[in-house]
Amino acid sequence: ERPDDPEVQYYYGWTILDRRGPYDAWLFLKERGDLPEAPAHVRASWYALHAKAVGMLRDFERADRWLQRAMDVGAELPWVLVTRSVVWSWEDRCEEALAALDQALTAKPWFRPAVQRRAHLLTLLERDDEALQFLQQAAGQIQCAALHWQISAIHFERDEYDLALESLERYWEMVPLSEPSVAEDFYSVRSFLAYLAGNDDDALAWARRSRSEKDGIVVQRLQDPARRNRPRITLPVGFTQQHYMTCVPATLASISRFWSMPADHLQVAEEICYNGTSALAERRWAEDHGWYVREFTVTEEAAERLIHAGIPFTLTTLEPGSGHMVAVIGHDGRRGSLIIRDPNHRLR
């Protein structure tokens, strides 16, 4: 009813960014101009949206200019500071991104987007204890179910399954009107935690409530007598946070550290990375640094044999136009699943 309202323009721009990506969003933002009649807080958010769009296009110099304009109009507006943090994290400036979130939380204590983002960055920096303590404090100050999901994920990473389950149950209590997709995720994780706690009946009951194909397969495998005594093994492969398009160097660094042959992630990236890493460059680096290299198609049997022998390995997933490398650090024989260490996500 009010298509020219500045706030409507702002949220429509967000919708374009979310559904059609940064280029279409940038065209829309250019067409609409500066929204000079908008209130200061809307104009600041509008400029921050510009920063996010060009940041997604990796134009960080221009993104910083838009962020500064946003700050000039709405100084200490917490959402602008959160956007600054997001853009800086894309530029691999995690410590500065964290500082921007601290500013946002000073401007508006327990601002929910800043709280969640700060906890996420802390886990990327391997400051899990600090992230957990911060989330627990925040959960005592604001009502937000997602905080309890994050708390549960950290407990899971630390193999504290009872505490992970407790936090997950608290999350579920707070989302009584959840959409089916949210419920599917809950049923799946709830089943998994019951399984890890050794409660097969509970695990099966929750998996059956899910309609996902994955959980249907889990039900079949947990009931398969041939799998009953097959173990779950996780190798102690640490996390290396990737930078932009450096999933291969980061994963190689993690694997190297496991074998006490440390390699610096950024040095590896300097040697083999250019807008990603080719399979040939990866192979040459490994062979030149004393590794025995074999390429193969991953099957459960092959993965199980390697993990049982204490050998983690790299896995490349592909889709049209892109690929991503992770480390396979474990295998669950009963569920028939791989345990992954992703360089873009701190928690397993």
Q: Is the pTM of this model over 0.75?
A: yes
Give the per-residue pLDDT at 345. Answer: 87
Give the per-residue pLDDT at 17. Answer: 97
Give the per-residue pLDDT at 94. Answer: 93
Give the per-residue pLDDT at 36. Answer: 87
**For residues 314 and 230, what is the distance between their CA atoms, to the nearest angstrom?**
23
Question: How does residue 271 score in pLDDT terms, banded at 50, 70 and 90?
Answer: very high
Query: With contact defined as beta carbons under 8 Å apart, do 118 and 105 qualify?
Result: yes
**For residues 279 and 234, what is the distance between their CA atoms, to the nearest angstrom?**
26
Tens-digit pLDDT profile for residues 107-146: 999 999 999 999 999 999 999 999 999 999 999 999 999 9
* Residue that has been written with the tokens 């921050």 in this structure: 48
Q: Lowest-confidence range among 104-113, 317-326, 337-346?
A: 317-326
Tens-digit pLDDT profile for residues 46-83: 999 999 999 999 999 999 999 999 999 977 799 999 99
Please tell me the number of Cα atoms within 13 Å of 176 on its side-chain side.
Answer: 1
How far from each other are the two terminal CA atoms of the chain, in whole angstroms?
46
Task: List CB contacts of 83: < 8 A, sequence separation 6 or more.
Answer: 48, 49, 51, 52, 67, 70
